[in-house]
Amino acid sequence: MTKLPFWIAAVGTALCAAPALAQSDSIAYFTASQSSALPTLLSAEDRNYYASLFEAIDAKNWDR
């Protein structure tokens, strides 16, 4: 009977720790947007083209 409080405390601690251990996936999910491993959608040449295009639009340079 003297070990019963110990076992109750041990089981309670284990049950409380399980949800905390399960949170690593959510941390990875919510920090994925801050990762630098995002794919490159445009080449450097395409980025330069669109940058110059939008600069011309902003400058209202319709002859471009």
Domain boundaries, the chain: 1-27
pLDDT of residue 4: 79
User: Are the C-beta atoms of residues 36 and 44 closer than 8 Å to each other?
Assistant: no
**What are the structure tokens assigned to 56, written together?**
């011309």
Q: What is the mean pLDDT of each run of 10 residues along the chain (64 residues)?
A: 74 63 69 66 92 95 83
> What per-residue confidence (pLDDT) applies to 15?
66
Model-level pTM?
A: 0.39
Q: What is the pLDDT of residue 22?
A: 57
- So what's the pLDDT on residue 16? 64
Q: What does 8-49 look like in DSSP terms, one character per residue?
A: HHHHHHHHHHHHHHTTHHHHHHHHGGG-S-PPP-S-HHHHHH
